[in-house]
Amino acid sequence: MKTLDTLQLKAKSAEYRSKILKYIYNAKAGHTGGSLSITDILNVLYNRIMNVSPDNFDSNDRDRYVQSKGHCVEALYVVLADQGFFPEEDLLTLCKYNSPYIGHPTKGVRGIEQNTGGLGHGLAICCGNALAAKKDHSGVKVFTILGDGEMAEGSNWEAFMFAAHYKLDNLCAILDYNKLQITAPNAEVMGLEPIDKKLEAFGWAVRHVDGHDIDALTNTLSSLPFEKDKPSFVIAHTVKGKGVSFMENTLKWHHGVPTDEQLQIALAELSIESPNQVPA
């Protein structure tokens, strides 16, 4: 079913990024930098890795994705619309009065598993999902994307201990490691290095990956679990604002909204990567 080649997925990423910007521009709100940062990860998860679709979404045997860094919901909305969970034009209501498409994921939107937004919540829920799947011998895999700033939440570390203790090798946590949080670089706010050694010490199998390399992401996420009986932790090295030169690695684009002119420049930059995919 999911047979798109790498060139097609690269084009999809450019298309997703263009749409993220377009809908954030329309809403005059959104978490721009982080949404562009996780786009390629979501692209690979939904188009190549996970067994979840509008057709099996009501089955308990679907794979689960819980977005712990809920604020980057615009990327998730665009990917879910592309998967056919809802009509893409619904996203024109993003953050508008009484729209289900609010600034964090909610189950009011088909395709979304859990209401997130408070940081440090997604992983524990995933632990419960993964444990239930183990008890059921269902083969369900469970995924989450964690933000790097979010790693300072103590609740994550409770869940890291739990996942290793229960040998949840059907669980994969992906760190969106763009190294910038709302105030400053992580290293200044609350350093998390050496994050790989910390997770290894907590009993997880850890791999680094270029979080924008479609093939590398595919290879990494296709080889789960990295070790039998261990949960898998993917350190995805990413760039906040990826794909738009003036947004990349720039703090103010954490939740910056492009002006009309900035949007046009950004769309033009993205169109070079995907000439036929940019929306009008």
Partner 1 sequence: MVTTEIKKGLANLEVFSATLQALAETDKDLYVVTSDSRGSGKLVPFGQRYPDQIVEIGIAEQNLVGVAAGLASMKKKAFAVSPACFLTARALEQIKNDVCYSDNAVKLIGISAGVSYGALGTTHHSLHDYAVLRAINNISIVAPADNFETEQAIRTAAKMDSPIYLRFGKKNMPENLAPDDGSFLIGKGRVLSEGNDFVFFATGEAVWPCVEAAQLLHEKYNLSATVVSMHTIKPLDTNLIKRLASAGKPVITVEEHSVYGGLGEAIASFMMQEGLHNKLKIVGIPDEHTVHGSQNEIFKHYGLSAEGLMNTAISMIRP
Could you give the string, one character per residue 256-275, with x where binding to partner 1 holds by CB under 8 A and - elsewhere? Answer: --------------------
Q: Which stretch binds partner 1 (CB under 8 A): 25-33, 78-86, 92-100, 106-114?
A: 106-114
Q: How many CA atoms lie within 13 A of 132 on its CB side?
A: 12
Question: Is 76 a residue that touches partner 1 (CB under 8 A)?
Answer: no
DSSP 13-31: HHHHHHHHHHHHHHHT---
In the complex, what is the shortest distance from the CB of residue 239 to partner 1, in angstroms, rounded to a whole number? 29
Would you state the structure tokens that stand for residue 164, as one six-digit string? 């290793």
Residue the block writes with tokens 């632990």: 127
Question: Is 188 a residue that touches partner 1 (CB under 8 A)?
Answer: no
Q: Measured between alpha carbons, how far is 193 from 264 in angstroms, rounded to an integer? A: 38
- Report the amino acid identity of residue 115: N
Question: Is 155 a residue that touches partner 1 (CB under 8 A)?
Answer: yes
Sign, CA torsion 117/121/123/126: negative
Question: Is 149 a residue that touches partner 1 (CB under 8 A)?
Answer: no
Question: Is 133 a residue that touches partner 1 (CB under 8 A)?
Answer: yes
Q: Which stretch binds partner 1 (CB under 8 A): 11-19, 127-135, 182-190, 239-247?
A: 127-135
Q: Which of 74, 124, 81, 120 is nearest to 95 (CA)?
A: 74
Binding site for partner 1 (CB under 8 A): 60, 107, 113-118, 120-121, 123-133, 135-136, 154-155, 158-159, 161-162, 165
